[in-house]
Structure 1
Amino acid sequence: MNVIKDIDFDEALDQLGRDFGLNKRKKLKNISNYSLSEKTLAEHANLAKRENERKERDALRSGHGPTAEIHDQFYRDHKYLLFLFQLLAVMPVERSSPGKVTFSWRSKASIYAFCFYSLLTVVIVIVGIERIQFFQRTNKFDDYIYGILFVIFLIPHFWIPFVGWGVANDVAEYKTNWGTFQVRYYRVTGENLEFPKLKMQIVLISIGCLLCAIAFIMSLSILLEGFPLWQTSAYYHVMTMLNMNSALWYINSRGIKIASESLSRCFRNDVEVECNASMVSKYRFLWLNLSELLQALGNAYARTYSTYCLFMLFNITIALYGTLSSIIDHGFQFSFKEIGLIVDAIYCSTLLFIFCDCSHTSTLQVAQGVQDTLLSINTLAVDTPTQKEIDIFIQAIAMNPAIVSLKGYAEVNRELLTSSIGTITIYLIVLIQFKVSLLQQQSLTTH
Structure 2
Amino acid sequence: MEVSDLAHLYGKELHIKQISKWLRGSARAQEISKRAQLNSSDGHIIDKHDQFFRDHKLLLVLFRVLGVMPVQRGEIGRITFGWTSVPMLYAYVFYVVTTVLVVLVGYERFDILLNKSKKFDEYIYSILFIIYLVPHFFTPFVGWGVAYEVCDYKNSWGRFQLHYYKITGKDLEFPLLSTLIIVISLGCLILAVVFLLTLSALLEGFTLYHTTAYLHIITMINMNCALWYINCRAIGNASTALAAAFENDIEHNCSGYIIAHYRVLWLSLSELLQKLGNAYARTYSTYSLFMMTNITIAVYGFTSEIVDHGIRFSFKEVGLLVDATYCLFLFFVFCDCSHQASLNIADRVQTSLMKIELNKVDKGTRKEIDLFLIAIQMNPPKVSLKGYNVVNREMVSASVATIAIYLIVLLQFKIGLLNMRG
Q: What's the TM-score, normalizing by structure 1?
A: 0.89
Matched, 1:79 2:57: yes
Q: How many residues align?
A: 414
CA distance in 1, matches of 2:320, 2:83: 40
The one of 16, 19, 23 aligned to 1:20: 23
CA distance in 1, matches of 2:211, 2:275: 36
Matched, 1:93 2:71: yes
CA contact (8 A) 1:185 1:191 kept: yes
Provide Cα deviations, 1:42-71, integer angstroms capped at 9, x if missing partner.
xxxxx4xx5664343121122321111010
Where do 5+ consecutive residues of structure 2 fail to align?
A: 1-5
* Structure 2 partner of 1:108: 86
The one of 427, 433, 440 aligned to 2:406: 427
Q: CA deviation at 1:328?
A: 1.3
The 5-angstrom pairing of residues 2-17 of structure 1 reads 17=20
CA contact (8 A) 2:295 2:327 kept: yes
CA distance in 2, matches of 1:122, 1:12: 58
Matched, 1:439 2:409: no
The 5-angstrom pairing of residues 177-256 of structure 1 reads 177-256=156-235
Provide Cα deviations, 1:370-396, integer angstroms capped at 9, x if missing partner.
101100001111111111110010000
Name the SS of the counterpart of 1:235 in structure 2.
helix
Task: Using the aligned pairs only, state the percent identity.
Answer: 54
* Structure 2 partner of 1:384: 363
Where do 5+ consecutive residues of structure 1 fail to align?
A: 25-46
Q: Which amino acid aligns with 1:287?
A: W
* Structure 1 partner of 2:3: none
CA distance in 2, matches of 1:92, 1:425: 38
Q: CA deviation at 1:251?
A: 0.4
Name the SS of the counterpart of 1:410 in structure 2.
coil
CA contact (8 A) 1:225 1:337 kept: no
CA distance in 2, matches of 1:151, 1:145: 10
Shift of the 203–17 alpha-carbon distance from structure 1 to 2, 3 Å rule, reads farther
CA contact (8 A) 2:299 2:321 kept: yes
Q: Which amino acid aligns with 2:209?
A: W
Matched, 1:306 2:306: no
Matched, 1:401 2:397: no
Q: CA deviation at 1:225?
A: 3.0
* Structure 2 partner of 1:291: 270
Q: Say which one has the larger Rg.
A: 1
Provide Cα deviations, 1:71-114, integer angstroms capped at 9, x if missing partner.
00001000100000000000001111111111100100000000
CA distance in 2, matches of 1:345, 1:224: 18
Q: CA deviation at 1:431?
A: 0.7
Aligned-residue Cα RMSD (Å) equals 1.8
CA contact (8 A) 1:62 1:181 kept: no
Name the SS of the counterpart of 1:247 in structure 2.
helix
CA contact (8 A) 1:89 1:117 kept: yes
Q: What's the TM-score, normalizing by structure 2?
A: 0.95
CA distance in 1, matches of 2:12, 2:344: 23
CA contact (8 A) 1:19 1:278 kept: no
